[in-house]
Structure 1
């Protein structure tokens, strides 16, 4: 827990400390583990050698660079900062006892055709990359003078897969448990500068865009990692690519959030200029993934013409198609629709200025009266109560499920138990399609124990007063004529209600944001429509219509 290790990594570390070997699964795995152990020894020796060079005469330029970047000696030591001299063979000579083959396999030497292998890292500040157990598996080298590439990473090796590794994960795991967050930045120096400023929970990808596997690793640490890429155009594009990659793996409660830095600044710049408190304030203002996707697509093209707005919808639809989880995809679609309607409703209903108005603006005197107490009561408990009545009627007459199958299959009850019951009922009817008629008793036998109990409670209870579920006093059968007609009406209301409530909410928000005659009139129109809806629902709740 304290080190932030996974179970097997913790077992292996304890085994190493005790001088024991964790048994391998098979001989091939044992041989691979043995080879890896040798490579770990190679990387540890290389790390020790780079640190020694950093502290020696040849490391003066590297130490001066760290001092210029504001890094303290204790920070250099904590992150194992080293130096690779500008030589093609000094490391090879220092580690020759491992053999050239192992040094090439570890990515420390470059071997081209039949030429003599030579040192990969030359004249660079060396930053060790560790695995979750803190073992050195690769290096990142930053050039000290002019030249390209500015950063050079180890190649992929048996120890190192850059798409499945996050820099500083070993230290950040423990820190993130304490802070409850993890911060993803672009580079090594940002991570090191943030740790020195008190943000030890920072990690970075390794010279590539954030991969799906790295996002999964982040989600194992916290539900909503914070992406804090540079404020320039390249940094923001990288953040958007990460946002797109995250969509396919979204699951309930897990997402990404985005921290926007001032243009042209990286986290290191911001901490130096404004201090840790300013950076912490930006973290508190992180933007959710849905907002980042919306803003990026909105900025991707013009929106003035109808064709432009259709293009925006198409781009948003493409993003939605990338979301695998159906429930999350539905909520994203709702969020995009609300933003779209709010934005373009405002654009088409510009307020009049005072000179254009013919006298002071007043609400329309024909606005509907406020809802009655009964309507308010129905509105507050209507969705669950209405679905309860519909389910009870369908349990009594399963044949009606086929009649309303299309509407019901697109309905998502707010109560999770109702949702599971409706789904099971639709599945049962689909399985019996073309077979004998499915009656109430047969349907009940198909349901699992928990759903069976729920269904029996609905059928035996009198918690609903809808006419279409009331029973005749004389023979206990439903009054089919009026009852079936009322059930049709109830299902129509169930379908209409979410759309009407969403439209009324958008109109109310639009009026609150930009109160004009047009926005107020639209709000009142929808309020009247909602009042008429509640009246129709109230009619279904009359207690004596079938008695």
Structure 2
């Protein structure tokens, strides 16, 4: 596991990367006054409401509320993890990421740099592609692929290749230790080295950035195992990667769904029939990491498994692995194929439209969940079989409990009680709706003084230097907002000159991250030349407001219970607010 990226390096990268150039390379921007605008890449709109500030190094959409800095944009637009976004930005800035040692392991030697392994793996992929075209024994591989209907265009898109028979066929352009670290060569106990893939059609496995991280190989003939993956390496973890995701995202910018299948050839066959949404797990059960990865790119996952016992068991394991990730807005469906069929064979037999219809009619999560758990049970009221009802509850409750709180979980609990013959309790969420709880509505009122003050300060950090000490003291004593104000002012004291986008990064993992992002994107409706004046006036009004609140607090108490200091404070406040 990689160490933590130092905060000072994160800030250095943000200082070197221009957010306008970064976004403009992906979403064409037009200058509008001092900012740049575009139609928002995160929701559909007719008129541009997506604004990017070069001075603030911050973007904000006034339509959907999306906002952030360069790191946040890459995470949302390119669907990268935080570390992947940092790697991309560091490459852009010409920097190499240093790492802080992990706690408790300061002296642990670092593994071989993975950047070198990516180059080796890409070299190997090119070698396998060349072998497919030129090796004397490649005809068998070509015949196999043609027999599966694979065209040259698809073979090129997925970089299919061939590993010839023989112990050491890969060119020995790199040291043995490097090839071994990349999972391309294995060494027996006696020291004999041989290629990991031999006499196999080779499927390069690429990560979301298009880098080859490992390979899968399908044997030609009767050898075993039929399918073989690269061993676990610094770049390749089976539980973290899926086959075909990079190709999917190249073909479909924002997929409505991702179809999860079992085999490489299923992915390729579906793509060839005009269904590019498929990915395959790599010879391992679907994991929570797989689920979270795929939900970053689509709100709906459709699990497509064979209709035999093994396929049904795999579908249920996928459901169990998905439960912790099923927050509101995410959907699962299940497509169990007819027996004796896999996606490859079925799409060839039925065609594209029929297969798409099967996907459309796949069973929703709740349907499949209860269908599976109620098999063999008699839950009718006439049966009076409380044993079956109790058995259902005992099986289902621990599973539902793994789901995040929300409407979907409440719905599942309600359905369970109905099936078990019990009356579900009214949920607090629904009760609130019944009594007419209202959220929002109407025109937005004027912002509170504290909200306006913090928004102006975050968007214009240079204003911090103009806050006098007594005013600062009043500001940081303003309830919850005062706590946030103290954090912001302390940060600006330590790091003067931060841009708003850089400030946001300091709050990324804190409880205030969303609040800070909202304040950075808040429309203060103050023209640039008026900002210092409005900020000073807002501070003055806020200070008076706080003094009035303190006066009311003291004045509401009998004089006999006030201390001498409080009586003196009361008199002072009386003179200041009158």
Q: Same fold (TM over 0.5)?
A: yes
Contact 1:4–1:177, Cα closer than 8 Å, also in 2:
no
Q: Structure 1, residues 328-380: CA drift from partner, whole Å, max 9, x if none?
A: 432211122334549xx9xxxxxxxxxxxxxxxxxxxxxxxxxxxxxxxxxxx
CA distance in 1: counterparts of 2:360 and 2:419, whole angstroms: 23
1:142-177 CA distance string (max 9 Å, x none): 011112211100011111111111111112124443
Equivalent of 1:131, from 207, 210, 213? 207
Q: Deviations over 1:459-497 (max 9, x none)?
A: xxxxxxxxxxxxxxxxxxxxxxxxxxxxxxxxxxxxxxx
Secondary structure of 1:248's aligned partner: helix
CA–CA distance in structure 1, aligned partners of residues 119 and 236 of structure 2: 14
In the alignment, does 2:394 pair up with 1:321?
A: no
Q: Which residue of the partner structure matches residue 52 of structure 1? A: 130
Find out whether 1:295 has 2:371 as its counterpart: yes
Q: 2:156 aligns with which of 62, 71, 77?
A: 77
Question: 2:166 pairs with 77, 80, 87, which one?
Answer: 87
1:191 equivalenced with 2:276 (yes/no): no
What is residue 111 of structure 1 aligned with on the other side?
187
Whole-angstrom CA distance in 2 between matches of 1:338 and 1:10: 46
Q: Does 1:336 align with 2:416?
A: yes
* Cα distance in 2 between the residues matched to 1:122 and 1:265: 28
3-state SS in 2 of match to 1:177: coil
Q: Which has the higher strand share?
A: 2
Per the TM alignment, residue 10 of structure 1 is displaced from its structure 2 partner at its CA by: 6.7
Shift of 1:141: 0.5
Shift in Å, 1:284: 1.0
Unaligned 5+ residue runs, structure 2?
1-25, 28-76, 103-108, 440-478, 482-578
Tell me, yes or no, if structure 1 residue 180 matches structure 2 residue 259.
no
Shift of 1:49: 1.0
Alpha-carbon RMSD across the aligned residues, in angstroms, is 3.5
Find the residue that maps to 2:284 and give its secondary structure: coil
Structure 2 equivalent of residue 414 of structure 1: 433
Q: Secondary structure at the match of 2:242?
A: coil
Partner of 2:331: 255
Aligned residue among 295, 307, 310 for 1:231 = 307
Asked whether the equivalents of residues 131 and 138 of structure 2 are also in contact (C-alpha less than 8 Å), the reply is yes
Task: Judge conservation of contact 1:13–1:133 (CA < 8 Å) in 2.
Answer: no
CA distance in 2, matches of 1:207, 1:236: 16
Relative distance call for 1:152 and 1:88 in structure 2 (3 A) is: same
Q: Does 1:21 align with 2:21?
A: no
What do the CA deviations read for 1:295-330 (whole angstroms, capped 9, x no partner)? 111126566744233322321223223224265432
Distance 1:448 1:408 in 2: 30
Contact 2:255 2:297 in 1 (8 A): no
Q: Which residue number corresponds to residue 6 of structure 1?
A: 80
**Distance in 1 (alpha carbons) for counterparts of 2:355 and 2:87:** 37
* Residue of structure 1 equivalent to 2:216: 140
Q: Deviations over 1:156-200 (max 9, x none)?
A: 111111111111111212444344221111111100111111111
Trace 1:141-540 onto structure 2 (pairs within 5 A). 141-299=217-375, 305-325=385-405, 327-341=407-421, 412-414=431-433, 418=437
Indicate whether 1:38 and 2:116 are aligned: yes
Q: Secondary structure at the match of 2:162?
A: strand
The answer (yes or no) to whether the contact 1:229–1:260 under 8 Å persists in 2 is yes
Partner residue in 1 for 2:502: none
Distance 1:7 1:208 in 2: 23
* 1:122 alignment counterpart: 198
CA drift at 1:286: 2.0
For these two proteins, the number of residue pairs brought into alignment is: 357
Q: Is the 8 A contact 1:129 1:139 kept in 2?
A: yes
Of structures 1 and 2, the larger Rg is shown by: 1
- What TM-score, normalized by structure 1, do the two folds share? 0.59
- 1:88-126 Cα offsets, whole Å, 9 max, x none, are 1111xx1x2310000110011112334222111111110
When residues 66 and 339 of structure 1 are mapped into structure 2, their CA distance, relative to the original with a 3 A threshold, is same
Q: Secondary structure at the match of 1:107?
A: coil
Q: Secondary structure at the match of 2:239?
A: helix
CA distance in structure 2 between the partners assigned to 1:317 and 1:124 by the alignment: 46
Gapped runs of 5+ residues in structure 1? 346-405, 421-446, 450-547
Aligned residue for 2:11?
none
Residue 409 (structure 1) shift: 8.0
SS in 2 for 1:170: helix
Does the 8 A contact of 1:62 with 1:83 survive in 2? yes
Distance (whole Å) between structure 1 residues aligned to residue 229 and residue 341 of structure 2: 23
Separation (CA, whole Å) in 1 of partners of 2:95 and 2:414? 51
Deviation of 1:256 after TM superposition, in Å, equals 1.2
Calculate the TM-score normalised by the size of structure 2.
0.56
Q: Distance in 1 between matches of 2:312 and 2:180?
A: 36
Say if 1:4 and 1:173, in contact at 8 Å, map to a contact too.
Answer: no
Provide, for residues 379-417 of structure 1, a one-character-per-residue CA deviation record: whole Å limited to 9, x for no partner: xxxxxxxxxxxxxxxxxxxxxxxxxxx999898422799
Are the counterparts in 2 of residues 125 and 142 from structure 1 also a CA contact under 8 Å? yes
Please state whether the residue corresponding to 2:217 is helix, strand or coil.
strand
Please state how far the C-alpha of 1:50 moved relative to its aligned partner.
0.8
1:179 and 1:106 map into 2 onto residues whose CA distance is 32
